[in-house]
Structure 1
Amino acid sequence: MELGKILFVDDEEHIRNSIAQSFDLAGLSYECFSNPNQMLSRINKDFNGIVVSDIRMQPMDGIDLLEYVQRIDTDIPVILITGHGDVELAVSSLQSGAYDFFEKPYNNNRLMNCLSKALEKRLLHLKVLALQNPQSLNVMDAIIGDSAPSKRLKQQIRTIASTDVDILINGATGVGKELVARVLHALSGRAKAPFVAINCGALPLSIIESELFGHEKGSFTGATSQRIGKFEFAKGGTVFLDEIESMPLDLQVKLLRILQERNLERLGSNELIDLDIRIIAATKKDLLIESQNGNFREDLYYRLNVAVINIPSLNERKADIRLLAQYFIKKLIKVHNINKLNINSHKLIELENRDWRGNVRELKNYCERLVLGIDDVSLPEDEALKFEKMPLTERMRLYEKQEIMACLTVHNGHVQSCCDELGLPRKTFYDKLSRHELNRSDYI
């Protein structure tokens, strides 16, 4: 899904021609109309784009158009362009849901910047909706993120998924190794067969062999019936071995044989059972170092280390944090049946500035605390120390940004309420929003 289209409405031809040149120079997709009625059929809940309109038009003016769009979808950004006498009307339109307004003559660079952010906001909203709708969910969309590292990861998954080679996934705790494994399975020719996930670190040593390979009746005390193991159960499908570094060394020998021979013997049996499976192993440790230290079989490491996927940490793809957070928050609001979200964000630092050692799992937990209204959401001790070591000017800049973000959150993006609370003139407040790259519409 890419950035959408601008629908621009103005009844003066020279203005349409002029702004069309600006759109072309900015590389933006657009259509121009002389009156709103010509583009009403384009507006629907799936519309990927924004509306930019003059106010003074006949028979339908910009305010009427805003109301029309709001009735269809309040999340479609509408930007109004006004003359000198329409400023008061335009300000009131912000309270009615307009994304922004510009007074003629407007600063072209500021307008193009606003349009780009509005298009990004609309695209982000549609992506979040798609993630919440299983019917429209593309398999790859389960991996949330448009950053360069995420795009590389998705391309690697597409390349490897269609092959039938065994795979080793490297990644720290919380990056989503099982999610990647499930996507690989879903995109493979084995998608209709079982996906069997096994956490090697969670299974007790006393039963792990029986769980993986199965056993015959009477093969040991308590084996009162035959049991099919996980490998055999996954016939035609995929076996996901998480935390493979935790697998006992003696079982690693049997796993190596399965990888090489594609068969196994149940405990208490001499019969070889052929296996038609793909194995995806995952680890949070460097298996080469583990093998050098005697904790992992070197021959198994080299057998697995053929098709390798390295999942980036959340700190390596911070451009995805906003999309991830919005997805988690909207999902958790429904899970906890919360009608209105009130976040005490007075001391919150923007999410991209945090050190996410727990990766996506930590971000999800953080979002859940926000949704539940837990007030003691604060910086970890080491993050607070990092903040204290910043130069004073940087600390002051960050503090001002936090205050504005907190104010926007409390007042749901209402500009005048923020100006009143912070004691700032409206123009000064907008200047600070621009300086800190904040958008009031993100808080509505």
Structure 2
Amino acid sequence: MTAPEAQAPVLIVDDDPSMRAALRQWMGLADFTPIEAAGAQEAIGKISSSFPGCVVSDVMLQGEDGVSLMRRIGEIDAEIPVILITGHGDVPMAVEAMRNGAYDFVEKPFDPENMAEIVRRAVEKRALVLENRALTRRLEDGSSLESRLLGNSPAMRALRDRILHFASTDAAVLITGETGTGKEVVAQALHDFGSRKDGPFVAINAAALPETMVEAELFGHEAGAFTGADRMRQGRIEAADGGVLFLDEIVSMPMSLQPKLLRVLQEKQVDRIGGRKPVRVDIRIVSAANVDPREAVAARTLREDLLFRLNTIEITIPPLRDRGSDCLVLFDTFVNRFTAQYGLDRPETSARDEAFLQTYGWPGNVRELRNAAERFVLNAGVGRQPLEMLVTGNGAAHEIGEGDTLRAIMDNYERNIIASALRRHDGRIAAVMEELGVPRRTLNEKMTRLGLSRPKAGLTAAED
């Protein structure tokens, strides 16, 4: 069981002590924290808008029934999942309850393992709701680091801690990470949360300028230095005096200019093109690369001595595929933003969409995810397409139809999650168990039921 739902509280509401005892035992074995109430009024006293779990209630209660209880819980917080159980097989009641906001409807007798799975999904959803609310509160304070670098995965919390720790220094920082991970956002944060926040932040992308322009852009020039230089122009390095100079795509800087940049870092002064004397500058250098800078040194596209000057501190941004459920939080946040921006109704994600969010590799990282959220919002009103289709152009043949059951939808979701974990870990069951938080027997049963097998190539008994 993963961190958000482990030990989550489950409020069990039933006027039958034996049923409460059975549910308490089953929920405890499933690693939840059971809380009991014999009736609706007692249950309401245990609920608040910050309740982090879900409610499992019998429909037929003495006095107020479970459907009425669900409505009262909805008045406290409409996003608390309520799972209703009944022994009467009342299909119309089930349909009506689902329309009125019930998370799920289960008939007695039910399979304890199936009930535990329903509860697990409910508390996962609740954890995401509370996480999004906390994130929204932080986003309202635009000065917070969380509002710029979204996500609550351990990798992102560690990244924010490193940024805040190093922001107060003047040491050179090299930011590495794949395309779309947010390297300029990190660079801007190092400026805004550091001692130079009142100074300028000057960014230049070495890969975006023609080689003939890079020198003039960086170092500036005197009037008459070359044809067309009719007046003195200050370079980006001078413009950053007292603040931070951000050099993106540093490995794309022409080799001929790298010694001159190295001298700036060593001497704290810049030579304009055509200038007679150097100009003193007080800057902090932050650079970024989307490839391994050591490989660039080996390929002779980056000077080793310049790399030593640039990476006094090295900060690596994790790719989105290594950030767990952050993709769900990010996508939800982006959807909310684009919904407000375009004045459209907010589209809801399906189980299949959520499965795709967590299993797709996102090679374009956060930038690609943001684009996907914008397309998702804009396309919702002109024929609902699965997110997979919008992002990859594939998957239309596997669309979940209106007649598919919840079990079929969730089987598809679990199949994608487990298959993705198996691929990431080359079929090593122990590693998959650790990532997904499930015991071996449960994982084996799910793999058998879902028709999954692990890759055999390259595995040894010791690796299993």
Alignment of 1:64 onto 2:68: yes
Change (3 A) 1:9 1:169: same
- The 2-side partners of 1:333 and 1:380 are apart by 17
Is this contact kept in 2: 1:33–1:39, CA < 8 A? yes
1:282 to 259, 284, 288: 288
Per the alignment, do residues 103 and 381 of structure 1 end up closer, same or farther by CA in structure 2, a change over 3 Å counting?
closer
- Please state if 1:178 is matched with 2:184: yes
- Whole-angstrom CA distance in 2 between matches of 1:48 and 1:142: 26
1:289: how far off?
Answer: 3.3
Give the structure-1-normalised TM-score: 0.73
Q: Which residue of 2 aligns with 1:309?
A: 315
SS at match of 1:285: coil
Superposition deviation, residue 285 in structure 1: 2.9
Task: Work out whether 1:296 is the aligned partner of 2:302.
Answer: yes
Deviation at 1:40, TM superposition (A): 3.8
Within the candidate set 94, 100, 104, 2:98 is matched to 94
1:361-393 Cα shifts (integer Å, max 9, x gaps): 223223322322277987699996xx9xxxxxx
Distance 1:266 1:226 in 2: 9
Gaps in structure 1 of 5+ consecutive residues:
388-397, 408-417, 423-428, 440-444
Which structure 2 residue ranges, 5 or more long, are not aligned?
A: 416-464
CA gap of 1:325–1:300, structure 2 versus 1, over 3 A, is same
Residue 280 of structure 2 corresponds to residue 273 of structure 1: yes
Give, in whole Å, the separation in 1 of the partners of 2:232 and 2:58: 76
Distance in structure 1 (CA, Å) of the matches to 2:201 and 2:129: 31
Equivalent-residue separation in structure 2 for 1:333 and 1:358 (angstroms): 22
Quick check: 200-209 or 114-123, which moved more? 200-209
Aligned to 2:262: 256
Q: Structure 2 counterpart of 1:35, which letter? A: G
Structure 1 pair 34–220 and aligned structure 2 pair: CA distance change class (3 A): farther
Q: What CA RMSD, in Å, does the superposition of the two structures yield over aligned residues? A: 4.2
Tell me, yes or no, if the aligned pair for 1:6 and 1:29 is still in contact at 8 Å: yes
1:135 equivalent among 140, 158, 169: 140
**Cα deviation digits, residues 14-55 of structure 1 (max 9, x gap):** 544443444443333454333333454665555543333232
- Is it true that 1:168 corresponds to 2:144 in the alignment? no
Alignment-mate amino acid for residue 135 of structure 1 = E
- Name the counterpart of 1:116: 120
Name which of structure 1's ranges 222-231 and 19-28 shifts more when overlaid on structure 2.
222-231
In structure 1, what is the Cα distance between the partners aligned to 2:19 and 2:190? 51
- Correspondences of 1:326-365 after superposition (within 5 Å): 326-339=332-345, 341=347, 350-365=356-371
Residues 4 and 127 in structure 2, CA contact (< 8 A), matched pair in contact too: yes
Shift of 1:284: 1.9
Q: Flag the 1:217–1:135 CA change in 2: closer, same or farther, 3 A.
A: farther
Distance in 2 (CA, whole Å) between partners of 1:177 and 1:331 is 21
Aligned-pair CA distance for 1:115: 1.7
> AA paired with 1:90?
A
- Indicate if the aligned counterparts of 1:200 and 1:246 stay in contact, CA closer than 8 A: yes
Distance in 2, Cα, partners of 1:10 & 1:269: 88
**Residue of 372, 394, 403 corresponding to 2:399:** 403
Equivalent residue of 1:139, what SS? coil
Partners in 2 of 1:17 and 1:370 — Cα distance? 45
Aligned pair count reads 404
C-alpha displacement at 1:5, in angstroms?
Answer: 3.9
CA positional deviation for 1:300: 0.5
